[in-house]
Structure 1
Amino acid sequence: MESYRALTVDWKDSKLQSEVRDFSVDDLPDGEVTIRVAYSSVNYKDGLATIQGAGIVSRYPHTPGIDLAGTVLASSDPSFKQGDEVLVTGYGLGASHPGGFSELARVPAAWVVPLPSGLTAKAAMAIGTAGFTAALSIYRMEQNGLNPDQGPVLVSGATGGVGSWAVSMLAKSGYEVTASTRKSAEIAYLKSIGALETISPSELVVPEAKSLNRERWAGAVDPVGGRFLTHVLNSVRYGGSVALSSFTGGAELASTVYPFILRGVNLLGIDSVLCPMDVRRTVWNRIAAEWQPDGALLDAVVHEISLSELPAAIAQVLQGRMRGRAVVALS
């Protein structure tokens, strides 16, 4: 009987603790497609899955990992066959369903995306949920009229996973990108991946005597939220869009109605979890074509870690100290 290793979060001494454990194939959950996982990656949501009371996981023991890429070992669904290269992001993976921090995974066929031509499993996970979220943000903004001729696009939290990929993808599509970061030591890194200029979040704060800031951005990709989102909304040009995908800066929204009714600003909610499969495949195909990272970018953004190094990487993500992407090699 084949065995496999997985990172598991479970209660021990009244605390949630993470460790690598051995399992047998019989321990795999229900699903039509069994996958030998080649790579996964570390996301903020994976960090939350290791914290008591975060609301991500309701049943333990649990294996986090909200994305994976690998090769089909077996499938009872005719859409997939042994040897197919595939990826899975979103849905219940790593939350209600055991995730990608495992050498083997079994998932519903409805969650599985064929690996697009031109992408390796490692590159797909370097992009992963974070890159898919960035790409989906740009896709939705372009559906709402954004194009490179309209002016600069702001990316907040630009050194993180979503932010880094948004900077790169926007630059590849010909946009003038301004990257927002508090980390002055990372300015050279942001410019190396496509940012034309950088800005500190403090420069976006609206003076107390004013209801709106001057119009600066044709659009904005925001994986931060919280109070920062208020300042972004107040700085977007007439008819522009803000694509909001996370709340690492807080879940509150303390905005006025002015950006919406005086400038026609669009606030677009970006959901990479339950994104419909037709949109999901369209966006992944664009990632594999016009937004595919080159080798130099992968070297700049990605560092590879092992299963045993995962707990330390998760701690870095939760503390906001992770630059770019940590890719987990599983086979």
Structure 2
Amino acid sequence: MAGNTFGKRFRVTTFGESHGEAIGGIIDGCPAGVPLDFEAIQNEMNRRKPGQSTIVTQRKENDIVQFLSGIFEGKTTGTPIGFLIQNNNSKSSDYEHIKDIYRPSHADFVYQKKYGIRDYRGGGRSSARETACRVVAGTIAKQILKTIKVTAYVASVGDIKLTKKYSELDFSNIEKNVVRCPDLKVAQQMEDCIKAVKKAGDTIGGIITCVVQNIPVGLGEPVFDRLDAELAKAMLSINAVKGVEFGSGFEGTKMKGSQNNDVILPDGTTKTNNSGGIVGGISNGMDIYFNIAFKPVATLMRDQDSIDLNGNIVTVKGKGRHDACVLPRAVPIVEAMTAITLLDLYLEQFGETDIR
């Protein structure tokens, strides 16, 4: 398995399994002399961790980050930053019944076929537990980027969706509800939907919107390392993500060029921002905004048809603690992967001259 490192200049490698002793990571290429806010790192971990509300998995993990290297007297040294996050509340017995069974739309089948072995306990390496490591790296990236602001929020759950543009929303409301939707009225509808789906033993998906503000012109390396291409790869590396669209996205396919084009003004800004802040694979200084589609969680608390290791038709049903909707906990993950990608390309474009 070779795909455990992300980035070129700012590189993040993660390791560990859902029910192993610990998960962790190594951050390489981090500029030296950056003071770190460890409380902010822990706050971001708390936004992602399980057990934070009644609508998410009730697995109780403290998700305390233990830094092992690369930091001295509260500042980065420029050497690799190593860190660990202990797994304290795994219940492997919840997965004994699927050790020889494949869950539909889960990674069980493909891991077994690709590697000839799989860790069935919580999905092992395929579990979203791994994303806790990304949040650590992403929060450090946020602190290095300083003035660049990355904000994500839940824009839809099933058929319930926000109708306002991001510029019309109050981002201060995002953390005032368990769904992490900036419209409190819509957030309540989303919460009620998730609770009903969970009660039925089912799951549901939706969309997260991410907005990047105060972005400089010039990030992105055409032709293969375009900013939108790198962000799309980052998002699609997150568990359950099945689609990404920038700016007007698929709605833009219904427009004429005269409607979709962003007229450039004398000050270099654009009259509209249907491009979502990225033109030719390079940031143009306007807000970057994009949508990320998350499928429903694969593990259901109800009967599903499937097969076992020998190809026999069986019935499988989830046990234990699982998310009925992954979106509320995925918000900080989306922000983290966005920040990691931006910092990587920022260092490519500008180096470390104004980082410290």
Q: TM-score, normalised by structure 2?
A: 0.25
Greater share of residues in strand = 1
- Structure with the bigger RCO (C-alpha within 8 Å, sep 6+) is 2
